[in-house]
Structure 1
Amino acid sequence: MRYLPLTDTDRSAMLGVIGAKNIDDLFVDVPETARLSGPIEGLPMHASEMAVERHFSALARQNMAAGHHPFFLGAGAYKHHVPASVDHIIQRGEFLTAYTPYQPEIAQGTLQMLFEFQTQVARLFGCDVANASMYDGSTACWEAISMAGRVTKRSKAVLSSGLHPHYVSVAGTMARFTGDTLLSAQPEMTAQGDADRLLAAIDGDTSCVVVQYPDILGRIEDMSAIAAKAHEYGALLIAVVTEPVALGAIKSPGEMGADIVVGEGQSIGVGLQFGGPYVGLFACKQKFVRQMPGRLCGETVDAEGKRGFVLTLSTREQHIRREKATSNICTNSGLCALAFSVHMTLLGEKGLRDLATLNHGLAVQTADRLAQIDGVEVINKSFFNEFTVKLNKPSRDIVRDLADRKILGGVSLGRLYPGEAALENGLLIAVTELATEEGIEALAQNLEELLA
């Protein structure tokens, strides 16, 4: 039975307040050809539970499961091994149903976990302080740009061409409503990034410079010079990390002068999950902490001197700040943050370094093998576990052909940057610890045949 508490009078009143004549006015941005005027043709009006299960199981079997075939997809979502103990712990009742600790005194376990999570993220990113997580990496990136605007009282952000195009798109969507100016560009398939362009663009109106590390093509570059010039002009450097495992092998962004470091935490403890839910990471220098969005958990002692945890900062619109809130994000990705923290705890510092070394070694092995193939050019001089190759044919066609051969061979730049002819032959290949000798060789041999 449908529960529809609003009357026609209620609906008319709400439409009048927002200036809409009818319900259809709310969908004017949806093309008429995409709107339904009745039931979906060919779909039965009802079916038994067993029939529905059989139908959807048949549909699911058409998918290529990531763990069943050689897998080299990346571009911001990575397939790593997640220990079974992570899933076991996060499914404990006290964690699985935990939401936001509105009454901290009875949510000590959740607060302690978030405190430990913040500590791990701050140390990983080389920053002073981290918050209790965000929705995902792309929204964390925008929140960082917005925060830089509050700190500097400026509204021009300079975005590296190596920033993930989906992150650029999210920032562009939000900037439409805030009036911020975003200076972005498409990447070029070269071994170097666009540091010279970024340095030239920094001026007295710049609020921040946003650099991905490693970038969308897998390139790793020192951000120190960009940080220095940004600071010279009173701007902030924002570093974006989509593959946090990389920080087990390369210098942290904070060590290179980044003021705010954000990223996607999916690689640690969280599966691919069809693209989400994921967990956004956000850290910054101590002096900017009061402009940091989201929530911050802190450690204290109670009246008896016992260790305890509290919500230290929570300047969001649901609480006391209203229009002065630093963010309208209403919660954090608590369960995914827990998975991240559990996996990170199991790894420890040595384990993370060992995992990063294994990733990099397998990626180098793959790049060396592919470089032997006619029609394949590896463009990177440096990379972690993801690199870009230039093929002698459009990469989207090759990716489809590889999928027909049961190999998920990478992400085509033609898909990430549709219509960009200079990038259509680019293929982004990610290699994690789950890659096998057989899988690497299968990718190489099939590429040889398809590019011949």
Structure 2
Amino acid sequence: MRYLPLSDADRASMLEKIGVESVDDLFVDVPEEARLDGPIRGLPTHASEMAVEKHMRRLSKKNLAAADAPFFLGAGAYRHHVPASVDHIIQRGEFLTAYTPYQPEIAQGTLQMLFEFQSQVARLYGCEIANASMYDGSTACWEAVAMASRIARGKKKKVVLSGALHPHYAEVVRTMAKFTEDEIAGAPPSLTPHPDDDGLIARIDEDTSCVVVQYPDILGRLPDLPRIAEAAHEKGALLIAVNTEPVALGAIEAPGNLGADIVVGEGQSIGVGLQFGGPYLGLFAIRDPKHVRMMPGRLCGETVDAEGKRGYVLTLSTREQHIRREKATSNICTNSGLCALAFSVHMTLLGEKGLRALAAENHRLACLAADQLGAIEGVTLLNAHFFNEFTLKVGRDARALVRDLADKGVLAGVSLGRLYPDSDGLDDALLVAVTETTTEEDIHTLCAVLKEALS
């Protein structure tokens, strides 16, 4: 029996209080085509537990899983090998503490892990301070924009987005900016071997609070961060660098070392599986400690107890659960703790040498794939440089091509037409990602089926 704590009169009173006529009015912002108009189709309305399990297994067999096929999908979510020891360690009892470590005396395992996590992210990003993680990369990107606005004290309202910023990240920024006075200045992506740094710099003016640049960008290219940082700082703006593939930072320079003021990104690649798109892990760090009280989320710190023994505590919490709402920097109320723990464990197992070796193997295999795929008649490699992800021009609709190759058991990549459905000139572009889980046999298989599909 359903538990219904409210009577009809209770609900009517609540609706009247907030100024709507019905519960349906609360969902007007959800597009009508995205709302359920009845029971979920394809599922039985009544069945035994065993029957439901069998039905769900039949449905699951329609999927082509990442581990069951040559896999070249990326665009912000990457398939990497996660050692079995990560799953073992994150289940240890010392980490099974409170969701929020309000009481440090019983949450030392969680607090120490978060302290180590912050240290790892700060070093990875080339920054001074990192917080105890956020929801995911896209929301961390918006929080960085909001932080830049706070630093500018509302005097600068223009946010310049690189045209090569992941479109989902850009959309989150635009969505959240509807509730602020920030002006979002975006641009379409340019299919060129190098990022359009000149065009980006030309859009920075005296009213710009921040410039948001992805590194590597959505096409796999590397923007000139020092040059962009110099141009932003000349106008009094902050540079926000977004990284969706942290393994790349084992091979390329950390954004903070290149002039980025705020560095954010997605931590999924390290310790966290693809997981059907989530939960994932937002990383957030700053270069200048003077801005620490403008950061969202919370910070863990190291201290000593009354007996002089080392201990860990929540040092700074700027979210609305801890301080007055009007003084809060964010309403983010979680730090994706389990994913942060998995990230930290995996990073500890790798170490600096392991991360560099992992990055080198990713790049080696990506170069091998790019050379072989670019040699196919009708295929052109776009990138002048890349880490483990690159863009191909395939001479036909890439969305249809991806579906055709999936029917042949190969997950060939992500079409830019899917990412940018309203942009012209991107329909024949295919984004291909290669990681250490890709074998040379997988690359040969992709080349063979692509040749056949384009012949």
**Equivalent position SS for 1:239:** strand
Give unpaired runs (5+ residues) of structure 1.
none
**Equivalent position SS for 1:421:** coil
Amino acid at match of 2:290: K
Aligned twin of 1:403: 406
Q: CA 1:358–1:329 in 2, change beyond 3 Å: closer, same or farther?
A: same
Taking the TM superposition and a 5 Å limit, the aligned residue runs for 1:393-432 are 393-432=396-435
Q: Which is worse superposed, 43-52 or 288-297?
A: 43-52
- 2: CA distance between counterparts of 1:393 and 1:264? 31
Amino acid at match of 1:198: L
Return the offset for 1:152.
1.2
- 2: CA distance between counterparts of 1:203 and 1:337? 37
Structure 2 residue 90 is the aligned partner of structure 1 residue 90: yes
Structure 2 residue 171 is the aligned partner of structure 1 residue 182: no
- 2: CA distance between counterparts of 1:247 and 1:39? 46
Aligned residues: 452
Aligned twin of 1:366: 369
Is contact 1:70-1:439 (8 Å) kept?
yes
Q: CA 1:13–1:94 in 2, change beyond 3 Å: closer, same or farther?
A: farther
Taking the TM superposition and a 5 Å limit, the aligned residue runs for 1:43-442 are 43-96=43-96, 98-153=98-153, 154-285=156-287, 286-442=289-445
Amino acid at match of 2:234: E
Is contact 1:190-1:379 (8 Å) kept?
yes
Deviations 1:174-199 (A, max 9, x none): 00011211111111111111211221
- 1: CA distance between counterparts of 2:305 and 2:30? 55
Q: Which is worse superposed, 85-94 or 248-257?
A: 85-94
Is contact 1:240-1:261 (8 Å) kept?
yes
Return the offset for 1:40.
5.3
Return the offset for 1:42.
6.8
Q: CA 1:172–1:34 in 2, change beyond 3 Å: closer, same or farther?
A: closer
Q: CA 1:97–1:405 in 2, change beyond 3 Å: closer, same or farther?
A: farther
Amino acid at match of 1:124: L
Return the offset for 1:131.
0.2
- 2: CA distance between counterparts of 1:33 and 1:430? 32
Deviations 1:52-105 (A, max 9, x none): 000000000110110111000000000000000001111224435641112122
Q: Which is worse superposed, 206-215 or 26-35?
A: 26-35
- 2: CA distance between counterparts of 1:36 and 1:314? 38
- 2: CA distance between counterparts of 1:172 and 1:36? 26
Is contact 2:97-2:107 (8 Å) kept?
no
Structure 2 residue 4 is the aligned partner of structure 1 residue 4: yes
Q: CA 1:370–1:338 in 2, change beyond 3 Å: closer, same or farther?
A: same
Percent identity, please.
71
Q: CA 1:151–1:60 in 2, change beyond 3 Å: closer, same or farther?
A: same
Amino acid at match of 1:138: S
- 1: CA distance between counterparts of 2:184 and 2:411? 34
Q: What stretches of structure 1 move > 6 A for 4+ residues in a row?
A: none
Q: Which is worse superposed, 190-199 or 127-136?
A: 190-199
Is contact 1:95-1:335 (8 Å) kept?
no
- 1: CA distance between counterparts of 2:247 and 2:29? 40
**Equivalent position SS for 2:393:** strand
Amino acid at match of 1:399: V
- 2: CA distance between counterparts of 1:31 and 1:341? 38
Is contact 1:237-1:257 (8 Å) kept?
yes
Give unpaired runs (5+ residues) of structure 2.
none
Give the TM-score normalised by the residue count of structure 2. Answer: 0.97
Q: CA 1:25–1:441 in 2, change beyond 3 Å: closer, same or farther?
A: same
**Equivalent position SS for 2:425:** helix
Is contact 1:188-1:423 (8 Å) kept?
no
Return the offset for 1:298.
0.5
